[in-house]
Amino acid sequence: MTLETVSTTRSHGGVQAVYRHTSTATGTPMVFSVFTPPQALGGANCPVVWYLSGLTCTHANVTEKGEFRRWAAELGLIIVCPDTSPRGEGVADDAGWDLGQGAGFYVDATEAPWAPHFKMWTYVTEELPALVAAHFPVDMGRQGITGHSMGGHGALTVALRYPGRFKSISAFAPIVAPAQVPWGQKAFPAYLGGDQTAWRRHDAVALIEDGARVPEILVDQGTADGFLDNQLRPQLLADVCAKAGIALTLRLQEGYDHSYYFISSFIEDHLRWHAARL
């Protein structure tokens, strides 16, 4: 598969790059970023941490605001940041910011008009990992995954459905139970239809209720997050993890909101968590 290099920039001894390729999953061009640490430039195969972004975001939000490169360079982590949805002419969209382009929810849509292009589950679990493995010095036996908000939902559900693939799992302010909150109750019927059994495969709390298991999860959540009580509801994850015997570290960060100021404040902790397990 052909990769087009959009940009490369030296940073902390490594390289921050952005790439474009034609996706077979979505049928559209897709853009993603990769930070390659100095250890990998020196010939080592390094562990990879996947970062899934939230509503309205692209690869660029965390790449430009996440402040992760210093720690990724120190720890020898490759950081891969995909887009949140297909984009472009002929791709379905919605007037609302929480559906359509920028809001793919990391599912494979089955409903019109979304089904032809909104195949983000296949993209992030199959196509992009194969592409990264083929083109970058990645040790695919050492993978971690994290994400923010809608991307935290994606990270948790991907990890729960591929428990042998990921040795470390974390999230920032994730949507832990989309089937129980307004964002998911808007997106899931649109993308997946009215059969709620299909929704459960993309809902972290429901997956754990249905038997999915991972050893441990790290979650940071700001107490001043305006979406905390209505959309995020981390206590639902805490409760189900306690019942399932999953070691959840849920840290409520006093006074922090939903923004990248919050993420950049705690990204070092998350990368050290991943590095210790990878």
Task: Report residue 156 as tokens.
Answer: 């948790």
| Residue 225 annotated in active site | yes
Find the catalytic residue in 149, 153, 203, 270. Answer: 149
Helical spans, DSSP H, in the chain: 38-41, 59-65, 69-75, 120-122, 128-135, 150-161, 182-192, 196-200, 204-209, 234-244, 260-277
3-state secondary structure of 53: coil
Identify whether the C-beta of residue 60 lies closer than 8 Å to the C-beta of residue 33: yes
CA Rg value for the chain: 17
Find the catalytic residue in 108, 203, 220, 225. Answer: 225
Q: Is the peptide bond before 29 cis (omega within 30 degrees of 0)?
A: no
Task: Report residue 42 as tokens.
Answer: 């020196």
Residue 250 neighbours by CB distance under 10 Å: 16
Identify whether the C-beta of residue 245 lies closer than 8 Å to the C-beta of residue 212: no
194-to-97, 118, 264 alpha-carbon distances in Å = 21, 17, 37
Cβ contacts of 35 within 8 Å, gap of 6 or more:
11, 14, 15, 16, 17, 63, 68, 69, 72, 78, 79
φ, ψ for residue 160, nearest 5 deg: -70, -30
| Residue 135 annotated in active site | no
Find the catalytic residue in 59, 117, 202, 258. Answer: 258
Residue 248 neighbours by CB distance under 10 Å: 19
The set of catalytic residues is 149, 225, 258
